[in-house]
């Protein structure tokens, strides 16, 4: 990939300024090394001390780590806590009147909520859920617009010990149905509509459609937050308004006291097969991961105004909107809209307006904003910023330098944070007052995270050579299992290839001569489109579910803004279409995929063929499809192909 080649040449180092280093929570490489050494000498002692220091326990734990049933590790299991108590109640005495959330709606209107007000809202909604019979261990699906109520719904679930499963508001009815059914949820919390970029999305109508698809018999109630004046269908026996549910509810709600190992949430993510995986996290370890990273990676200070732009529908919105910032007592901005509405200056205008100090976003957003207005940040006063972050995909050095210079005024460290839905919290990232940054590299693992790059045999590879990114020891915020599928958990993350001992991240990576880690991309059939994980198999199954389609293969190709674009090779049941007809069917198929999965999965390019390149044993040669998608010449040996002539046809059929 060309972006990776250019990344490889990057060697500039950006050490923290003296001023930043002196004030940082982890100061200088001495500070970083001391923490690493402590973790190396006494791993459990290291995490145990952090667990006691950063979490408020109802009953403290005695045992730190239980590996007796590896890879189903348990952390702090005999400790008792409530995550919502840690995010809200424990701040009331000292920070009750501090603003917890500065919410900016799509239209620019602002609502501020203090910790005391948030406590009241969460308690009332939690009592509302309880009045419906929702209790510890029940699953609650949240399909909501990004905003205060989504955070309240998640916190309220955590408060009563229910397990939430947030489904991103851009997913389709089919995707929502699958997640409701897999989790056997009792309730869906949604809104009549969401608003993004001035456009309304009918979330309630999609929910109705999802429930109508079948398989959702577990659902007893649908709670609807009224976000707009838009009308929606209503089923009196099943649906109830959020405002009616909370009316008259007490503003106190005793938290459910939980074992640290009780599940906190499930979040579905794409993998190598067509079926998304329900990644299951538990309360204690997860909370600790978010807190540690808020402190070390985001160098959290009480005076900060923190803003993570991710939607709560993704893991980044869970860890760095709903949980981490609240657990540490921060004031944070929550933004409902999109970076380009009403224009590409929205982020910069909001940073100025709210005095944001810490800004965390995705490389794809940065790249699109450069393209739409590389000089726009200069029109705003961004002097409040002191720290910048990125997440979701590798950042190309050009975008990094622009972010550093134009947004950060050359003075803000950039934390390029590598982590995953499965890891729960940041894993590899520069601690900004210690580690010198290098554009394009996520640099060094956090203290206590034992990451490595290994070959097929599990042996470490030398610098410059690519290999599998692995984690060698369990860590507190790690995935506990895949909901309903412990075998898949084991096979996917702790495969026998490495004796079941190493956590396999699914990314390839290499070390450079400074010992810094560079992420090269996924090793499985997962695409990273605008920082979102999409399984090629999921898109293929959606395509072949269309009555016109006989066969489909999906691959990625590099894309300037999205990182990767989706390319679908399609064989129809009827003859290969040409001209107008081909354009028309391609359009239909794109709409079909949007309807089956969501707009984010729509193929950017569709290529019709009479067939797909296959080996004599019938395997689709995806390697060749990738080359064709990139528009490159096929130089590989094609002698094992059943039908070599197909390559030429596919090369010329892009739509
Ligand atoms: C947090 C999140 C995880 C996958 C991961 C990797 C890619 C994430 C990255 C990065 C390079 C970074 N990824 N952060 N690649 N540099 N800083 O994105 O979770 O949606 O589960 O995706 O994203 O490929 O394996 P998730």
Q: pLDDT, tens digit, for every residue of 5-17? A: 444 567 899 999 9
Tell me the pLDDT of the chain averaged across its residues: 95
User: What is the mean pLDDT of the segment spanning 260-275?
Assistant: 91
pLDDT tens digits, 571-581: 999 999 999 99
Helical axes 43-54 vs 283-296, angle rounded to 10°? 90
Q: Please check if 393 is assigned to a binding site.
A: yes
DSSP secondary-structure letter at 144?
-
CA of 416 relative to ligand 1 center, distance in Å:
10
Residue 275 — pLDDT band, cuts 50, 70, 90?
Answer: confident
Is residue 212 within 8 Å of 219, Cβ to Cβ?
no
Burial (Cβ within 10 Å: 0-12, 13-18, ≥19) of residue 43: middle
Q: Which atom of ligand 1 is nearest to the CA of 505?
A: 25
Smallest CA separation from ligand 1 atom 22, residue: 420
Which one of 10, 392, 528 would you pick to mutate in the ligand 1 pocket, going by the greatest count of ligand atoms within 8 A of its CB?
A: 392
If you average pLDDT over residues 410-439, what whole number do you get? Answer: 98
Segment (H or E) for 353: helix 346-354
- Bridge partner list, 552: 570
Residue 199, annotated as binding a ligand: yes
Q: Annotation-wise, does 418 bind a ligand?
A: yes
Helices (H), 494-621: 536-544, 579-596
- Choosing from 528, 538, 556 the residue with most ligand 1 atoms within 8 A of its CB, the one to mutate for a pocket test is 528
Q: Render pLDDT for 356-400 as a digit per residue (tens, 0 to 9).
A: 999 999 999 999 999 998 999 999 999 999 999 999 998 989 899
Tokens of 624: 């060749």
Q: Which atom of ligand 1 is nearest to the CA of 269?
A: 21
pLDDT band, residue 642 (cuts 50/70/90): confident
pLDDT band at 1 (very low <50, low <70, confident <90, very high): very low
Is 197 annotated in some ligand binding site?
A: yes
* Centre of ligand 1 from the C-alpha of residue 534, in Å: 12
Pocket of ligand 1 (CB under 6 A): 269, 314-316, 391-394, 416-421, 442, 505-507, 519, 522, 528, 533
**What distance in Å separates the CA atoms of residue 395 and residue 410, rounded to the nearest whole number?**
17
Determine contact, residues 195/229, Cβ cutoff 8 Å: no
Arithmetic mean of pLDDT, 236-241: 98
Pick the range with the lowest mean pLDDT from 295-304, 462-471, 609-618: 609-618
Q: Is 64 exposed, middle or buried (0-12, 13-18, 19+ CB in 10 A)?
A: buried
Please state the atom number of ligand 1 nearest to the C-alpha of residue 522. 24
How high is the pLDDT of residue 635? 83
Q: Does the 530-650 domain belong in CATH 3.30.300.30?
A: yes
Secondary structure of 94-143 in HEC code, one letter for each residue: HHCCCEEEEEECCCCCEEEEEHHHHHHHHHHHHHHHHHCCCCCCCEEEEE
pLDDT bin (cut points 50, 70, 90) of residue 3 is: very low
Q: pTM value? A: 0.93
* The predicted structure's pLDDT at residue 9: 61
In sequence order, which residues have a C-beta less than 8 Å from that of residue 108 and are 6 or more positions away? none
Cα separation, 590 vs 284, whole angstroms: 42
Is 544 part of any known ligand binding site? yes
Residue-range domain boundaries for the chain: 530-650
Residue nearest to ligand 1 atom 18, measured at CA: 392
């Amino acid at each position: 990939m060309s972006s990776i080649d250019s990344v490889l040449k990057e060697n500039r180092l950006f050490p923290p300024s003296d001023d930043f280093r002196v004030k940082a929570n982890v100061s200088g490489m001495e500070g970083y090394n001391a923490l690493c050494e402590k973790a190396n000498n006494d791993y459990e002692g290291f995490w145990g001390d952090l667990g006691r220091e950063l979490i408020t326990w109802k009953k403290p734990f005695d045992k730190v780590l239980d590996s007796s049933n590896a890879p189903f590790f348990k952390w702090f299991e005999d400790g008792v806590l409530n995550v919502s108590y840690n995010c809200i109640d424990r701040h009331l005495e000292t920070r009750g009147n501090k603003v917890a959330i500065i919410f900016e709606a799509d239209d620019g209107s602002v609502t501020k909520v203090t910790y005391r007000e948030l406590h009241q809202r969460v308690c009332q909604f939690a009592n509302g859920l309880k009045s419906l019979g929702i209790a510890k261990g029940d699953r609650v699906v949240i399909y909501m617009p990004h905003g205060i109520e989504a955070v309240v719904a998640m916190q309220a679930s955590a408060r009563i010990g229910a397990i939430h499963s947030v489904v991103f508001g851009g997913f389709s009815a089919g995707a929502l149905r699958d997640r409701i059914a897999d989790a056997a949820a009792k309730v869906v919390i949604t809104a009549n509509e969401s608003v993004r970029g001035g456009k309304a999305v009918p979330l309630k109508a999609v929910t109705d459609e999802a429930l109508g698809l079948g398989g959702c018999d577990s659902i007893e109630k649908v709670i609807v937050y009224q976000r707009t004046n838009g009308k929606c269908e209503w089923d009196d026996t099943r649906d109830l308004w959020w405002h009616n549910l909370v009316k008259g509810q007490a503003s106190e709600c005793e938290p459910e006291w939980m074992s640290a190992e009780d599940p906190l949430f499930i979040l579905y993510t794409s993998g190598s097969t067509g079926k998304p995986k329900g990644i299951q996290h538990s309360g204690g370890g997860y909370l600790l991961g978010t807190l540690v990273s808020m402190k070390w990676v985001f160098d959290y200070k009480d005076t900060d105004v923190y803003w993570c732009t991710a939607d709560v529908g993704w893991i980044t919105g869970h860890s760095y909107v709903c949980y981490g910032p609240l657990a540490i007592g921060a004031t944070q901005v929550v933004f409902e809209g999109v970076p380009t509405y009403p224009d590409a200056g929205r982020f910069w205008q909001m940073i100025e307006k709210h005095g944001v100090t810490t800004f965390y976003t995705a490389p794809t957003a940065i790249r699109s904003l450069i393209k739409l207005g590389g000089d726009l940040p200069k029109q705003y006063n961004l002097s409040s910023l002191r720290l910048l972050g990125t997440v979701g995909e590798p950042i190309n050095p050009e975008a990094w330098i622009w972010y550093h210079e134009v947004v950060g005024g050359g003075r803000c460290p950039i934390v390029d944070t590598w982590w995953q839905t499965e890891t729960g919290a940041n894993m590899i990232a520069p601690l900004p007052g210690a580690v010198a940054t290098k554009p394009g590299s996520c640099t060094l693992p956090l203290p206590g995270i034992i990451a490595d790059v290994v070959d097929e045999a599990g042996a470490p590879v030398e610098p410059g050579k690519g290999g599998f990114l692995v984690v060698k020891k369990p860590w507190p915020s790690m995935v506990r299992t895949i909901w309903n599928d412990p075998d898949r958990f084991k096979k996917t993350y702790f495969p026998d290839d490495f004796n079941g001992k190493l956590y396999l991240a699914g990314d390839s990576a290499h070390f450079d001569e400074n010992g810094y880690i560079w992420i090269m991309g996924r090793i499985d059939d997962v695409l990273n489109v605008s920082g979102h994980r999409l399984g090629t198999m999921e898109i293929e199954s959606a395509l072949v579910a269309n009555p016109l389609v006989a066969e489909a293969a999906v691959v990625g190709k590099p894309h300037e803004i999205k990182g990767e674009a989706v390319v679908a090779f399609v064989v129809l049941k009827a003859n290969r279409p040409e001209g107008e007809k081909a354009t028309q069917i391609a359009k239909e198929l794109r709409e079909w995929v949007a309807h089956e999965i969501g707009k984010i999965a729509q193929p950017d390019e569709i290529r019709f063929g009479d067939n797909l390149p296959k080996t004599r044993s019938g395997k689709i040669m995806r390697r060749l499809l990738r080359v064709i998608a990139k528009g490159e010449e096929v130089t590989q040996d094609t002698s094992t192909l059943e039908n070599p002539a197909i390559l030429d046809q596919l090369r010329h059929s892009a739509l």
